[in-house]
Amino acid sequence: MDTRMLERGRRAAWAAALLLGLLLASAPASALGDGSRGTSGAAFLKIGPGARPAAMGEAYSAVADDIHAVYYNPAGLARVGAWELTGMHDRYFQGLDYNFIAFAVPVSRLVSRSTGVWSEYAGTVAVGVYDLAVDGMERRGETDTNEPTGTFESDDMAIALAYGRRIDEKLSLGGAGKIIRQSLDDRHGTAFAADLGALYQLDKRLTLAAGVRHLGTGAKLGGESDPLPLTGYLGAAYRLREPLTFSLDLGVPRDRVPTVSVGTEYTRKFSDDLRAALRAGYFTRNTDADGFNGVSLGFGLGFGRAGFDFAWVPFGDLGNTFRYSLLLKF
């Protein structure tokens, strides 16, 4: 790595930090955490996908080293060195179904196959699809009885195209563009958004992260427009020992007070093919409901290039959510 490339990396890091500051400064006053609630549309974008990140309290922006970086921090896609495919199902409370599927392709692998040249700085491209749906909701009109007049359904979907790459040995940058489609009964709306992220490997143990999610146009549904849930974030991950990682995220959403999430992951390798992980976390955003909430627990099992992850995330009186993910590398 020559001096000029290192200098470009330092300038890019300053530019990323400055951009994040400008984005937060230009957001509404509520982005500074004045506690305004219920003022954002497309609220399903706040649900972080993946059982592994969920089990760690979604403190994942600095941990991101797999396909889930497409949501948590697109700069983490630079760490993805193999083709990855993941799918997740979450039976949410109140009959909601949340599903996520994503696919990552390292550009370096494509280059090596076509020209015989491999570059670790070529980056990785990923596509992610998020969907939150509920059906069988009762429709009630102005009638003399309390009987429903029928049922209707709601479906929220987002498709993201993301790219992340290494700038130098320490700094990685990434971004994602998203198309958001919402439908409620016979009303439909479309919005566009972008995510930006940065990762900085301070040393072998400590990684820092910064970025912004859901920066874009208002979500229109039935002629009305609500701003997207713009969120700035800072994160850190520290590997205390080889199998043990601690993570911390600070989120600054536009529609509520700042949030804090912490997570930990312990991994154990039993053989070249068999591995397992235990995870736990705490997320202040999940403490709004009464009852037992905020915490998360989960585990992961891996064999060869396949991995299965599970997370339990309680939401107090609203109920429990159970997330199941499958990750394939090839």
Q: Which pLDDT tens digit goes with each residue over 83-139?
A: 999 999 887 766 678 899 999 999 877 765 555 445 667 899 999 999 998 765 555
Q: pLDDT of 193-250, one tens digit each? A: 999 999 999 988 999 999 999 999 877 776 667 889 999 999 999 998 779 999 999 9
CA torsion through residues 32, 55, 40, 229, sign: positive
The answer to whether position 68 is within a domain reads yes
Phi-psi region of 290 (alpha: psi -120 to 50; beta: other; left: phi over 0): beta
* Measured distance CA(199)–CA(73) in Å, rounded: 8
Inside any domain, residue 312: no
Which helix (H) or strand (E) segment is 110 a member of? helix 107-115
Q: Is pLDDT of 1 > 50?
A: no
Number of domains the chain is built from: 1
The SS3 assignment for 73 reads coil
For 27-84, how does the pLDDT look when each residue is reduced to its tens digit (9 = 90+)?
444 434 444 555 677 888 999 999 999 999 999 999 999 999 999 999 999 999 899 9
Burial 282-310 (b: 16+ CB within 10 A, else e): bbebbbeeeeebbebbbbbebeeeebebb
Q: Which of 104, 74, 101 is nearest to 90 (CA)?
A: 101
**Which tokens hold the place of 119?**
């570059």
Which domain range does residue 9 map to? 3-267+279-285
What single-letter amino acid sits at 89? H
Look at residue 316 in the predicted model and tell me its pLDDT. Answer: 82
For residue 160, being part of any structural domain is answered with: yes
Number of neighbours of residue 72 by Cβ within 10 angstroms: 28
Residue 330 lies in a domain: no
pLDDT, residue 77, reads 96
Residue 291 is assigned to a structural domain of this protein: no
* Kind plus residue range of the DSSP H or E element containing 67: none
pLDDT tops 90 at residue 188: no
* Lookup result for tokens 């230009």: 26
